[in-house]
Chain A
Amino acid sequence: MDPHTLHLYEMLSKAQGYIFPNELDLQWGILIVVYPFITGLVAGAFILASLERVFNVRELKPTYQIALLTALSFLLVATMPLISHLSQPQRAYEIMITPHSSSAMAIFGFVYLWYLMVVLLLEIWFDYRESMVVWSKEKKGIMKWVYRILTLGLSDISHETVRWDKKLGYLVTIIGIPSAFILHGYVGFIFGSIKANPWWSTPLMPIIFLFSAMVSGIALVMFIYMAVSHFRKQPVELKVLDTIGRYLFFILILDFTLEGLDQIHRIYESDESFEIIKLLVAGKLYLTLFISQGLFGTIIPLIILAFLQFYKRAISIRKTLYLLVSILALIGVYSMRWNVVIGGQLFSKSYSGFTSFKLGLIGLDGTLMAAFWLLLPFGILGFLLWLLPPWKMVEGKE
């Protein structure tokens, strides 16, 4: 007997109440938790970078390129958990060639490509072109050619051309902001539009996904900025942390309000699914929803961030608190993705019972694989920071 069937026989004894027989096989595992988490990080990091550019927030300058490269690193990996969870991955291209117009999922490839090619790559290219031209002249050997290829042969760095780079980069940012909103709002729609599932089906889902994406993206950039400064043995600028922290505080309040509204609405309307969902959140989701997402991922960061709004003394304490907040917020948003994706599959559509989810360690759908997809972007980011170091960019460009 194959391991999956064996696993299902084990789960058979763990089902509670009545579930439809076909529901024992839980369809979307940890990879589908990782996928919206990664996409959210992309959208969030990009939106933070755009804030700097569009609103000219000077304090965020040191994080601008870091945020863009972070978004790119995660975006490059975003499709991997998605494709590897398909049971016919070799047919994945069909989604691009023959998309079904009424399917929310069919649009993913196009939204993704638009975001990667038109928004992120273009913006980064306009940003770095002048520096890459200079580097291609300075460097020797293979790196000279790498940079020359990356400039796509456009080596004119006259004042006028560089001014155009800036203008066009700005234009891409303007297009990029709604694109980032669409990218992640759309991921929320994939879940929010499933009327069969009362835990998912809410028009607030896209907007909740978007705001939680911003929380996670901002927290990630904060974390990476501290980590990069640490590795480069450069001091962390507190005014940068304070500014990111302030944004994180406001977005987290909005996110908390929206998710609270969703739950209050659910409780007040109390429709036919309410009883089973009440049992779900009080039972199988208790730890991940109330403790991990609610307490550690939302309430504690909110308290710390509120405290940091007026506490301006001991620098080392503030830095430590910001580090803590960034990690907690990331854990909180990851838990939120878990609660949506896994939580939505734990109760039966008969509203009369629960199935069980047991996370394996190995295999394509196991913890190690999920951890790999989550860590790979950091490796890519390391490479990108080496290839396109923001701190070595040519002056005058900015």
Chain B
Amino acid sequence: MSLFNWLFRVDDAASGIANRNTKNSAQVTAKDRMRNMLTHDRLELPAGRLQILEEELIAVVSRYFDLDKETTHFDLQQFDRKAALIANFRLIRSKC
């Protein structure tokens, strides 16, 4: 590292700007993983259980509706240390 670079941290500043512009910075990755992990920890819910629930819920809703399974969205979110299960089923038509 040159003296100039060392003094002004030009390389770091540049990489910092590059990082901030991407969604893949270690900071963002850590925060996303952390949020997901703690939501499961707080519920004492192994992450794999959610997958099973998702499949079962899809099966139930599918008895009533044709579903667009590609866009069905299933998510656990955290609101002030309390978890919420957000399920978004895209319905095509009723089966009744």
Chains A and B come from one and the same complex: no
